[in-house]
Amino acid sequence: MSKAEEHVSLGEMYSDYFLDYASYVILERAVPHLGDGLKPVQRRILHAMRMLEDGRYNKVANVVGDTMKYHPHGDVAIKDAIVGLGQKELLIDTQGNWGNTLTGDPAAAARYIEARLTRFALEVAFNKKTTQWTKSYDGRNDEPVTLPMKFPLLLAQGAEGIAVGLACKILPHNFIELVDACIAALRKKKVELVPDFATGGIMDASEYNDGLRGGRLRVRAKVEIEKKKLLRIVEVPYGVTTTSLMDSVVSANEKGKIKIAKIEDNTAGEADILVHLPAGTDPETARDALYAFTDCEVSISPNACVIADGKPQFLGVSEILKRCALQTKDLLKLELEIRLGELQEKWHFSSLEKIFIEKRIYRDIEECETWESVIETIDKGLKKYKKLFKRAITRDDIVRLTEIKIKRISKFDSFRADEEIKGLEDAIAETEKNLKNLTRYAVRYFENLKKTHGKGRERRTVVSEFERVDRSQVVAATETLYLDEKNGFAGWSLKKEKAIEKCSRIDDIIAFSQDAQMRVVKVADKAFVGKRPVHVAVFRKDDPKIYCMIYRDGRSGPVLAKRFKVGGVTRDKVYELGKGSPGTRVFHFSVHDTEKESEETEVVVHLKPALRLRNVSRPFRFGEIGLKGRGAKGNIITKHAIDRVVKGGG
């Protein structure tokens, strides 16, 4: 072997290892399979539980141990996966303390809790005859490649997982709506689905995008106004617990974004959180503030990714449902074909047995001395009846006839045999009819699922469109903005300095300094707003102001006037209102609510005395110049040096 063949590049080796790892995580850990909607650990748990199934509960610790025969990973991970399945209340019937998804309380230890498969799981997920099998990791046991799932389980339970380079987030949907959608899909009608959550809430699904990447859901808690000073939260958004929601409310209150007096958690079987409001608080505004600043409203980004055809694929929920409906139809067809074959075989042997006994063919073998002569004698005795059968009579059939016990022959009832054959013929006819009308049969199957298992599974999440709450409109103004004019700082902690106005902690500050610069910064305990500020205020985009300014360009340049508005700004960026020349100075700055008010603003510009300068006082009205944007440099009003600018005629 050459040296080139003996050595492998380290980079190539790591590249191969990483690819193997990525493939393993995607296919074996993080992403569910389209066929049965399960990840491998979930599939192995259900298979282990089916092997243990005897109608009684099993300790979860026992289920974990049996699952490890198929799943070579830690017991804690398996137990957590079992708890996750059990909390969805669809496939596993639970007993004991399984935790609470509403409050976030964990389940008890595996040795204290018990589980068994539900009737629904036994009906839709298992059939040995239609299951494709493979060997377990150690070759000692058989395990299913996928379970023969006759229901869109993936959409009912939802799924989440993070793999290498991709993520999966499929949201749960309503059981009854899924069944109805499957029926619609089988009838080739349009299918539309939106999620439904066990925790209820109010959902805006206008941007759901069929569950694909780029879509978005907004889900709100159900908040009721009990009294003027009391709000009651009775349902929480998906993925939010009562504990995390309360923490978010307390945090928002501490940050000054909302005002509450106290909060109580009375949650038991259903969510019940009381939010007490301080006197003078409008409950409608307080509710909107909860939506704006707490987990009472959350945004969820779905990303429907499944394993199909041996690779990850991004499919919309409507496409997933259609494929699941067609898979169910195919599985039902396979079950019918298997059943038809079994019925035909049973009819074949029952008819053979009847002729063998009624025609006393068994007596013909009394004189036979060899096994072959026995077979030939029976075959000869059946020869004239062969046209009655749907398939050829084989040697195996004859061998089975020889195994009939004398007791059965002696007690043979011809009438009962005829009734049994008639029943088999009716069952065969019914099965063949179902195969010819497969879609109708599949529809009846889903209708029966709905009738049998749909009770108590009505939609809990209300679907509604709602506008996003404008934070600036509902935030509580709990702070006072102070200004340190000497050092150029503003904030709510500078309580010894000049008070400007009330503000909230999400507001922005707009500040203009004497060197004709402007900046917008976020309100903080202490924020720099520029040296020698001439105007500082809370910046409100929905309440635009008009500014009038007179400034000198540089140390000896002309004096200009400008009347302007401030539009879009970037926070913390310094904007030059003049030409940016060193030594620029503002002599007059005023703020107005309306354009008319700004036009009527008058000032007197006092010039410095100079040779041949007769008039040192010149009145100026801002209505003489047009209203422009922030970037306009302004109009020259004099090239002489000025002493001061006085408002009005002073």
- What pLDDT sits at residue 361? 86
H-type alpha helices, 461-526: 471-474
pLDDT level of residue 500 (50, 70, 90 thresholds): very high
Domain boundaries, the chain: 10-188+305-311, 217-300, 330-453, 475-647
Helix axes 395-402, 317-358, angle to 10 degrees: 60
- 75, 79, 84, 87: CA torsion to nearest 10: 180
pLDDT of residue 14: 62
Strand (E) or helix (H) holding 78: helix 75-87
Q: Say if residues 485 and 500 touch (Cβ distance below 8 Å).
A: no
What's residue 1's pLDDT?
A: 44
Residues 315 and 212: their CA atoms lie apart, in Å, by: 7
Q: What is the tens place of the pLDDT at every residue in 246-260?
A: 999 999 988 888 889
Any bridge partners for residue 518, and if so which? Answer: 512, 575
The pair of three-digit structure tokens given for residue 86, joined into one six-digit string:
């059990």
* The two structure tokens encoding residue 66: 């049996």
pLDDT for res 620:
93
pLDDT tens digits, 586-616: 999 999 999 999 999 999 999 988 767 777 8
User: Is the pLDDT at 121 greater than 90, yes or no?
Assistant: yes
In angstroms, how far is CA 557 from the centroid of its own chain? Answer: 62
SS3 378: helix
Residue 3's pLDDT is 47
Say which range, 385-394, 512-521, 588-597, has the weakest mean pLDDT: 385-394
Instruction: Specify the DSSP element, H or E, that contains 275.
Output: strand 273-276
What is the number of alpha carbons within 13 Å of residue 96 lying toward its C-beta? Answer: 20
pLDDT the model gives residue 497? 92
* Per-residue pLDDT, 7: 64
User: What is the SS3 assignment for 235?
Assistant: strand
For residue 133, the cross-strand partners are 144
3-state SS, residue 511: strand
Write down the pTM of the prediction. Answer: 0.79
The strand pairing partners of 543, in sequence order, are none
- What count of other Cβ atoms lies within 10 Å of the Cβ of residue 407? 8
What does the pLDDT look like over 66-88, one tens digit per residue? Answer: 999 999 888 999 999 999 999 99
Question: Each residue of 277-316: pLDDT tens digit?
Answer: 998 888 998 999 999 999 999 999 999 999 898 888 999 9
* Candidate CATH numbers 3.40.50.2300, 3.30.1360.40, 3.20.20.70, 3.40.1710.10; the one for domain 217-300: 3.30.1360.40
A 10 A CB-CB count for 178 gives 28
For 637-649, write each residue's pLDDT tens digit: 999 889 899 987 5
Question: Residue 12's pLDDT band (boundaries 50, 70, 90)?
Answer: low
> Does residue 457 have a pLDDT over 80?
yes
Pairing of strands 627-629, 559-565: parallel
pLDDT at residue 17, as a whole number: 65
In CATH, what number does 330-453 get?
1.10.268
Percent of the chain with pLDDT over 90: 68
**Would you state the pLDDT for residue 567?**
85
From 280, 290, 273, 295, select the one nearest 226 (Cα to Cα).
Answer: 273
Q: Where in the sequence numbering do the catalytic residues fall?
A: 112
pLDDT given at position 22: 66
What is the pLDDT, as a whole number, of residue 419? Answer: 92
Instruction: Calculate the CA 198 to chain-centre distance.
Output: 13
Q: H helices then E strands: how many in the chain?
A: 18, 33
Please give the share of the chain, as a percent, with pLDDT higher than 70: 96
Q: Determine the CATH number of domain 10-188+305-311.
A: 3.90.199.10
Place of tokens 């809790």: 113
Residue 293's alpha-carbon distances to 39, 147, 286, 464, 504, in angstroms, are 36, 44, 10, 20, 12
For residue 48, what pLDDT band results from cuts at 50, 70 and 90? Answer: very high
pLDDT at 94: 96
Please give the backbone phi and psi of residue 552, each rounded to the nearest 5 degrees, phi first.
-100, 135
Q: DSSP letter string over 197-233?
A: -TT--EEE-TT-GGG-TT--EEEE-EEEEEETTEEEE
- What are residue 487's phi and psi, to 5 degrees? -105, -10
